[in-house]
A and B are shown apart, each in its own frame.
Chain A
Amino acid sequence: MSIIPHPLTQFPWRVLLLLLAIAGFGTLVLYSAAGGSIFPWAINQGVRFCIFSGMAMALSRIPVDIFARFTFAAYGALLAALVLVELIGGVAGGSQRWINLGFMQLQPSEFMKPVIVLTVARFYAMLPVGEIRRWNAIWPALVLIGLPWSLVLVQPDLGTATMIAAGGVTVMFLAGLPLRLFVGSGLAVAAAIPIAFSFLHDYQQKRVLIFLDPESDPLGAGYHISQSKIAIGSGGIWGKGFLQGTQSHLDYLPEGHTDFVFATMAEEWGLVGGVLMIGGFLLLFRWGLRVAMRTQDKFARMAAAGLTTTIFFYVAINLMMVMGLAPVVGIPLPFMSYGGSSMLTVMMCIGIIMAIDRSSRRQQRPGNWA
């Protein structure tokens, strides 16, 4: 067929290069955020990316059947861990999110983001075709999503809970449930928002209110959004130049290396940097959805599209938050924000999508014309 050896063409070069570009850019931004130093963030982030890329490659060699087989087990384990967190977990920033394992801090809600996608996908894959328009196709999925969602919500971690629900519902949508269900419940949710608002914690309510009007508290909780918008806005089209950002270097921008890393980037690289970055992420999503669309296996295609959407939610929520379109909920930007657990989760998603890609190609090759 070709002169290039088969294993090399098998290798997903394009997506790896894309990831390398995004993560490399992120590392560069972290280098600048530390005042032009690879310590303490850029070096860690770079090393982490290498390790997690290796992990993703390893995951991509695993047959999809294995994922399917262990999905419910993983779901059960994480659910148990979430209950455990509620009982004995550590408290950070007013909410209870992690268990200290001694050598590392385990945040089960983080892993729940991809696992809920796999679980719901597995459920619909097992469901007989004819059942899809029955009540039986709905309630088990709602229970599967509702349990972790409510456990995470009471931690309380609104951002993660929202992502879990969104991931699960996305798979329900992909599974082919009637459209009117989504439209109807969308309207119901819109109507319920005022009621839900009253159940939020004080600090969450405050965040939402301040999101609606950041200038009402420019020195308090609205400070994050105001300063982030100043950073992005003052960057202009071409940015202030690498290492020239004043908002980040003079400490006006809080969390400039974690949740608000996009503002740090936008200040120095301007609109151009922002467009390139968003474009890069869109290419990644396109790759994920195309993998899903050319896959025949029901579980695999739903998983691939769902996991892609999970990454999309990370990016979309973070960027909307940074640009003042969403309240500050503490969702990091994949590959850019400094931090291990979010990168681990995203790389797991990538690895699984790669595995799906690999197995679908294998299936297709012999009988592609059939």
Chain B
Amino acid sequence: MKFLTSKRKTVTEATQSFTFTRRAMVLGGVQGAVGAMLIGRMAWISVAENEKYNALSESNRVNLTLIPPRRGWILDRNGRALANNRTDFRVDLIPQRMVDAEGTIKHLAQLLSLESDEVDRIREELDKSAGFRPVQVADTLTYDQFAAVSVRLPDLPGVAPSQGFSRYYPAGATVGHLLGYVGAATAEEYKERKNPLLITPGFKVGKDGLEKAFDRHLTGKPGAKRVEVTARGKIVRELTTRPDTPGRTIKLTIDAGLQEFAGRRLATQSGSVVVIDCKNGDVLAMASMPSFDPNSFSDGISHLEWDMLSKDDHVPLRNKTLQGLYPPGSTVKPMVALALLEAGVGPEETISCGGAIRVGNTLFHCHRRRGHGALNMRGAIAQSCDIYFYQMAQRIGMDRIAAMARRVGMGQRFDLPFPSQSYGTVPDPAWKERKYNQKWQVYDTVNATIGQGYMLINPLQMAVMAARLATGRQLTPNFLFGAARPAAPLAGTTEEHLTVIRNAMSAVVNGGGTGGAARMNVPGVLIAGKTGTAQVRRITMAERAGGVRGNSSLAFKLRDHALFQGFAPFDNPRYAVGCIIEHGGHMIRNEDAPMIASDTLSYLFDPTKAMEKLVTLEKGWGGTPAERQERQMAAFRLARAIEKGEAPPPVADNVANAANAVAQNATASAPDDSDDAPPPPGSDGADVP
């Protein structure tokens, strides 16, 4: 090669040996330099950057676990707990420590007598588990069960019994819709708030009702536990622990005893009762039944229970007090009468009721086919005569009635600590023009006068209406005990007019009127009120000719709503009540709106006697709501099992009945909730007391 040959040197053994020594020394120098470079690099990492890497190493090693704070209590007006925290004995499984998963689950199922659907859930969660995250086996265990598992721990590797806190609602289902419930935060909630506490196992947020509205107030500050963990997340040891700060309590205007009484007094019906203090608008009770048990919601409800609740035609999952809208029916008549008085109609002016009048092309009937004869205002309210109001209302016009309806709180949206409320409609000509682009007709006035047609109200608004009629003040409902609020302004009515209305409403109950069932059995206290019936179906001319069908012959969803609003004592009102029984149909006297409302009020005057009566009545209804729901659950579970062929068909008759009833329920109520909406407004609604 040219470049090699061009300037060839003479290479001898000696020069080659010399070259080798020189190059070997170069090699040694290079090795020494690399060694020095490595030491320098190491010194840079471990001395100059020591702080940074120390922090990284610590954040690897130490895992900060939040301890969920105990939630603040919810108290009633007398300091009784409506929601508190219960020491909770629970058992979890740590999947990665388990040896014989199947055997352990079987052993636990037998120790804790777990239902088969629970066992299925545990297996399912175990399959999906990441290994070190615990899987809940059961909580709210008794101390005995907890101890039974604890003593067997040596034989049950991977089983972790522990003690924590869980939300407890002593009154169970009766406070379900009032307080709501708590549950683990959803992914959306975490995205919104970005608080690591939300994804801490065992931490729960308010999901509905007051628990949701006051969630931040009730949430305390979390404690923290520093633990040393391996790269795989296994906990090696605890380092330090800082305790949690419990959330603040809130005190409600609710009277716990009354709330529970009201819930139980609603019996087997689907309905709602609201009691308001006439002094300041404090809500003393707000019950919507049937209801879910917030305790079982807060613990994580089973598929089965959810299924049962969502298929029940008594809609236990809806808060009827705030989200249910109903035609107020005849309960608006005292309000209409007050509008008449202000428009100059004299209380003694009479109208003759002949059973029906013609308005336009339509014949409007009174609820009493034979008619009431000549009636003044007091008589018309007491007997709930429709003809009197049809005629008088036409005289003063809808605008004045609508104005009065708004003054007593109908259609008004109150500022309440609840996530949602429906607040009804007060129709008038302008509203109809806006909404339907149609002219207001005379028959619209006629319908509205008796609380049908477009008019809608929720139970809370009905109680507010009763309280405003009783006091003549613009009371607004309030849930926070001792909330600083300005005194309710006067409604602008005269005492003279109010006295007429109050006396007439007393006559409804105590003067041979339609509300005799609401008479109160407390000496010296007379209740005043007004009954109502809201029709949910159209009565055709053909049916009317052949005789209107009785409610008992109709399907549940087609029966009339039963309503009652009132206050007591009638001459010096202290408490007001509103009660709506969905599809009650006035079928059972002691489960009808007037008697429920009256008994609920009587609890405030004589709790012992009221309770005695309730206990007697409950025997006829099959026990307390909790007992009834438990039985319903058992029947539902059995029906499910039969459906799946897991259980033999029942032999005993009563079991068969129960199962059939449930099966019917399941099919009958399957479609949807929309048929709870009021019937299409029109001329057909008239014929109700």
Contact = CB atoms under 8 A, between A and B. Distances in A.
Interface stretch (B40-48, B85-93, B446-454, B526-534): B40-48
Contacts of A323: 38, 41-42, 45
A176 B23 contact: yes
A217 interface: no
Contact of B46 (A175, A237, A324): A237
A34 to B, nearest CB: 15
Main secondary structure on chain B at its contact with chain A?
helix
Interface in A230-262: 230-237, 246-247, 250-252
Contact of A266 (B31, B34, B46, B52): B46
Interface stretch (B13-21, B118-126, B242-250, B313-321): B13-21
Interface string A285-309: 1100100110010100110010001
| Size bracket of the B interface | 35 or more
B487 interface: no
A251 B47 contact: no
Contacts of A282: 31-32, 35
A325 B24 contact: no
Contacts of A234: 46, 50, 53-54, 56-57
B651 interface: no
A192 B410 CA distance: 87
Interface string A321-349: 00111000000000000000000000000
A232 B24 contact: no
B54 A236 contact: yes
Interface string B219-236: 000000000111110001
Interface in B619-664: none
B482 interface: no
A259 to B, nearest CB: 16
Contact of A320 (B11, B38, B43, B230): B38
B27 A174 contact: yes
Interface string B53-77: 1101100110000000000000000
B49 interface: yes
A320 B35 CA distance: 10
B303 interface: no
Contacts of B53: 229-230, 232-234
Contacts of B19: 176
Interface string B607-629: 00000000000000000000000
A246 B57 CA distance: 8
Interface stretch (A46-54, A74-82, A109-117, A269-277): A269-277
Contacts, number: 145
Given A246-B57, A250-B60, A301-B20, A271 B31 contact: no
Contact of B45 (A133, A233, A305): A233
Nearest to B42: A274
Interface string A151-191: 00000000000000000001001111010000000000000
Interface stretch (B1-9, B335-343, B548-556): B1-9
Contacts of B49: 233
Nearest to A228: B45
Contacts of A92: none
B60 A252 contact: yes
A225 to B, nearest CB: 12
B4 A170 contact: no
A31 interface: no
Contact of A275 (B25, B27, B39): B39
A203 interface: no
A270 B236 CA distance: 24
B28 interface: yes
Interface string A124-148: 0000011011110000000000000
Contacts of A133: 4, 8-9, 11
A326 to B, nearest CB: 11
A247 B57 CA distance: 7
Contacts of B42: 232, 266, 271, 274-275, 278, 323
Contact of B38 (A230, A298, A301, A316): A316
A268 to B, nearest CB: 12
Given A134-B5, A233-B46, 11 more contacts: A129-B11, A230-B53, A233-B56, A246-B57, A247-B60, A251-B231, A275-B39, A279-B35, A292-B24, A305-B27, A312-B34
6 contacts: A133-B4, A173-B23, A250-B229, A250-B236, A266-B42, A274-B46
